[in-house]
Structure 1
Amino acid sequence: MLGKFLTLGLGLSVVASSLLAAPEKTKLKIGFIALTDCAPIVIAKEKGFFKEEGLDVDVAKEGGGWPGIQQKVISGEYDFSHALAGMPIAATLGINGEANLQALLSLDYNGNAITFGNKIIGEMEKYGLKKEERPVTAESLKKYIDEKHKIEGNKYQPLNFGMVHPVSTHNYELRYWMAASGIKPDEDTTIKPFPPPTMPQNLIAGNIDGYCVGEPWNTRIVEKNAGSALVTNYDIWNNNPEKVLQARADFIDKNPETTKAVMRAILKAQMWLDESWENREEAIKFLAQDNYVKAPVDVLRKSMSGTFLYNPGTDSKNPMFNTFANYYAAYPFYSHGMWFITQMYRWGQLEKPVDMKATIEKVYRPDLFETVAKEVGYELPPSAWKKDGVDEYNKFLDGKVWDPNKAVDYIYSFEVTAPKVSKEELMKVNNWKVETKQPSYVCPYGPAGCADEKFVTKK
């Protein structure tokens, strides 16, 4: 259907594509991590969308985790990469490598979960955990930690948790979930980075009590009956940004037509992924291959096909666990990017005041995205700035509202927060105002990744 969709004037036909300016560089290398949300890059390769754009792309699986991805983008070994939404921001601010990297598009919404081992779940159940509830809060974990403090006193041993990178969505989601129940992540726990595929083995070995990671590395533990996925990041923040496509700013400037060609191919793949659950099933078979995620089809199906395996033996309906194109999931909202800067301040990763608006406008590229979106028929939201936490499918676990115009207040509004920069210092360099506009919940591309088929619109 997507080919027909594009040919009928809602995007580009192959003939129309040939009328675009030729890419400056056609032989490219794009790095990715073995996670299901690398799917848009894999599908762009396997379904021929890169080839349609005149590109010869080597899609390379990175074995060195997110630090390896980042180093190879900065060095130029990778022309583009799958990236955590916070990574290009952090690199541009000098806290994760040092280079002006840019986020060209969002690859997906949601896709992560917090998974705990059976031992700690057993302790939490003594304090009221009901792991079948949705969403599960960290209240029982807080009670367990408080009791542990009383028993151990000055010899308290923090609980150990894993995430994938210090500026990852996973780190911020795990902290957000804990802190919403009064847990102080840097005092009550230790949180350390591990490459995603190593999470299950570290949990089973007892090196960590739990972790936050993308799929299929939560399902792996649940299927082994070694733990449960207590909460997804959709449960923490409905339709939150997860991964982006990143590249060096100087590469983009030097190769604008190549950049747009890559973006068109990946955007077509994202639309294809949300067009039908049948397409998702085909995607699962590609992802299962050794050169991609290298996981059993049945494991990948647990999250990619509209369900999610929270607990052993029980598939729960979760159609939005992976959303690639619907509800503007591909659009790089400035406001989404700025949220990550607030978390860098909240958790003490930034030690100098910066203009958050100027920073995110240097890193995120909705301007370039809008050009490409019009070429392939991707629907655009009314603004690059919006509030989160105010709409039916856009809420936070704790009921907070994220308004970019109140970004500084937001950082200091939490009961648990640990910034190293004063509110007054940040206020001095953040005197701007933006106009926010709320997009309606829409699913223009198909039922996959959509809350309900009533939202699916066919053009």
Structure 2
Amino acid sequence: MSIETMRIGFLPLVDAALPILARELGFAEEQGLALDLVRDVTWATVRDRLLYGHTDAAHMVAPLAIATALGHDRPATAMAVPFVLGLNGNAITFSIALGEACGLGDALGDPHAVGAALRAVAVARRDAGRRLRFGVVHRYSSHNYMLRYWLAGVGIRPDADVEIVVTSPPFAADALAAGEVDGICVGEPWNSIAVDRGVGRIALATAQIWRRGVEKVLAMRAGVADERRDATLRLIRALHAAAAHFVRPDTVEDSAAILARPAYLDAPVDAILRAITDRIRVVPGGDPVHYPDFMFQYREAANFPWRSQAAWLYAQMARWDGRGHDAAAAAVAAATFRPDLYRAALAGSGAPLPGASSKLEGALGEPIGAGSTQGRLVLGNDRFFDGRAFDPDDIPGYLAGLP
């Protein structure tokens, strides 16, 4: 088998693990692929490299792929998301001063209780003319939408009561340390690094806001996915094999050591290992707290690109961008996620393949069997913290019911 090269852009985050491990552990080579991984420090640069053909695919925040397809901030480019690289794995970290003002303890807080305390501080700061400022990794990021969803749900008005700005993940702890922001919503290991440096304390995991929130994806230009369909399917198979390896308890230390290398995350092994094993050090010097499924990357067909997840992200864009709902735009957003490619790649592999491409999001409180065309599929708790469910077939009704 001749080896075909694919260049993949990424940011130094734990959820870049699957392409990194696919390259380092031979899963890509088994599929006849050589992965050339290109590290960047901002999502805007990752996107631009992809759009201008400097890379063939990218580790990307899911909403940015959708925004690119819709032409937000730049000319529209058809995009394809054939694989989800992970669910959740982010946290909301307060500065030490804000954590003390909100009375944070030594464990992850309750979203409603932390929200009530934060609201009192935010209103006081707003009235004093010094609004609290939170950093997110990109305007079109799940971090931005998860943070906004939580803030609005506890009575804090984003952009009115608090300010939300963009900060690059590797510099998020620096922004906290410099006092440029009062809180951050970012992926690991950068929350843990802020805590270990003594400049922040983790208030919430984003899995507490949406238990199965879509996070990073494999993004490609749709033309590349079509023109290089065979290589794309082989890449999906390599990433799926890497995911199965990544979640095995006996591999976590080796995986953390690989990710910590200077070429990849260039970060402390211990901080990476904690994220991989769902252990979160909430306060400086504290013992790590175990939070199951903090980072979720394989079970329950976690890598499947549900179009309903894309639709939820689109609904948040419509909510916060002031554009309102547009049926044609919603259709483009949902079609960006490509379950057809995922199914084509893994047919015959034994991997569970959902029979549907869309579902009611946030409706499950307990594990339940789901229809599949291959393998046995069980879906677990996917609740939103406020108890709402999202019907992708009624976006206008959903938006009308939000605070």
TM-score (norm 1): 0.80
The aligned counterpart of 2:204 is: 231
Q: Distance in 2 between matches of 1:175 and 1:53?
A: 40
Residue 280 and residue 376 in structure 1: after superposition, are their counterparts in 2 closer, same or farther (change >3 A)? farther
Q: Distance in 2 between matches of 1:112 and 1:366?
A: 24
Q: Which is greater in Rg?
A: 1
The aligned counterpart of 1:308 is: 280
Q: Secondary structure at the match of 2:163?
A: strand
Superposition deviation, residue 60 in structure 1: 1.3
Residue 45 (structure 1) aligned to one of 9, 23, 44 = 23
Residue 32 (structure 1) aligned to one of 10, 35, 38 = 10
The aligned counterpart of 2:241 is: 268
Is the 8 Å Cα contact of residues 130 and 136 (structure 1) preserved in structure 2?
Answer: no
Is the 8 Å Cα contact of residues 389 and 396 (structure 1) preserved in structure 2?
Answer: yes
Superposition deviation, residue 225 in structure 1: 2.4
Superposition deviation, residue 357 in structure 1: 5.0
Structure ranking higher in strand proportion = 2
Deviation string 1:65-91 (CA, Å, 9 cap, x unpaired) is 100000011001010000111111101
Is the 8 Å Cα contact of residues 125 and 131 (structure 2) preserved in structure 1?
Answer: no
Superposition deviation, residue 348 in structure 1: 1.9
Deviates more, 1:316-325 or 1:190-199: 316-325
The aligned counterpart of 1:200 is: 173
Alpha carbon RMSD of aligned pairs, Å?
1.7
The aligned counterpart of 1:89 is: 66
AA in 2 matched with 1:211: I
AA in 2 matched with 1:169: S
Q: Distance in 2 between matches of 1:344 and 1:383?
A: 24
Q: Secondary structure at the match of 1:355?
A: helix
Residue 257 (structure 2) aligned to one of 256, 261, 285 = 285
Superposition deviation, residue 144 in structure 1: 1.4
Superposition deviation, residue 306 in structure 1: 2.8
Superposition deviation, residue 385 in structure 1: 1.1
Superposition deviation, residue 211 in structure 1: 0.5
Q: Distance in 2 between matches of 1:381 and 1:288?
A: 34
Q: Distance in 1 between matches of 2:201 and 2:189?
A: 13
Residue 36 and residue 46 in structure 1: after superposition, are their counterparts in 2 closer, same or farther (change >3 A)? same
Residue 367 and residue 222 in structure 1: after superposition, are their counterparts in 2 closer, same or farther (change >3 A)? same
Q: Does 1:394 align with 2:382?
A: yes
Deviation string 1:19-78 (CA, Å, 9 cap, x unpaired) is xxx78xx12211100000000010100111111111122111113x10000001100101
Q: Does 1:177 align with 2:150?
A: yes
Is the 8 Å Cα contact of residues 102 and 247 (structure 1) preserved in structure 2?
Answer: yes
Residue 145 (structure 1) aligned to one of 77, 99, 122 = 122
* % same residue: 31
Q: Secondary structure at the match of 1:139?
A: helix
Q: Secondary structure at the match of 1:186?
A: coil
Superposition deviation, residue 259 in structure 1: 1.0
AA in 2 matched with 1:308: I
Is the 8 Å Cα contact of residues 108 and 282 (structure 2) preserved in structure 1?
Answer: no
Superposition deviation, residue 134 in structure 1: 4.1
Superposition deviation, residue 310 in structure 1: 2.0
Deviates more, 1:330-339 or 1:186-195: 186-195
Q: Does 1:124 align with 2:96?
A: no
Report how many aligned residue pairs link the two structures.
Answer: 384
TM-score (norm 2): 0.91
The aligned counterpart of 2:231 is: 258
Superposition deviation, residue 332 in structure 1: 0.1
Residue 45 and residue 78 in structure 1: after superposition, are their counterparts in 2 closer, same or farther (change >3 A)? same
Deviation string 1:232-290 (CA, Å, 9 cap, x unpaired) is 1101110211110011111112111111111111111112112x112122111100000
Superposition deviation, residue 130 in structure 1: 4.5
Is the 8 Å Cα contact of residues 29 and 58 (structure 1) preserved in structure 2?
Answer: yes
Is the 8 Å Cα contact of residues 161 and 192 (structure 1) preserved in structure 2?
Answer: yes
Q: Secondary structure at the match of 1:115?
A: strand
Residue 318 (structure 1) aligned to one of 288, 291, 295 = 291
Superposition deviation, residue 410 in structure 1: 1.1
Q: Does 1:59 align with 2:37?
A: yes
Is the 8 Å Cα contact of residues 90 and 187 (structure 2) preserved in structure 1?
Answer: yes
Superposition deviation, residue 381 in structure 1: 2.1
Superposition deviation, residue 135 in structure 1: 2.6
Structure 1: runs of 5+ lacking an equivalent = 1-17, 416-459
AA in 2 matched with 1:192: V
Runs of 4+ in 1 over 3 A off after TM superposition: 349-352
AA in 1 matched with 2:382: N
Deviation string 1:196-236 (CA, Å, 9 cap, x unpaired) is 00000011001111110000000011112222110011011
Q: Secondary structure at the match of 1:405?
A: coil
Q: Distance in 2 between matches of 1:29 and 1:115?
A: 33
The aligned counterpart of 1:220 is: 193
Deviates more, 1:36-45 or 1:115-124: 115-124
Q: Distance in 1 between matches of 2:384 and 2:324?
A: 27
The aligned counterpart of 2:136 is: 163
Superposition deviation, residue 355 in structure 1: 2.5
Structure 2: runs of 5+ lacking an equivalent = 366-380
Q: How does 1:447-458 map to 2 (within 5 A)?
A: none
Superposition deviation, residue 131 in structure 1: 5.8
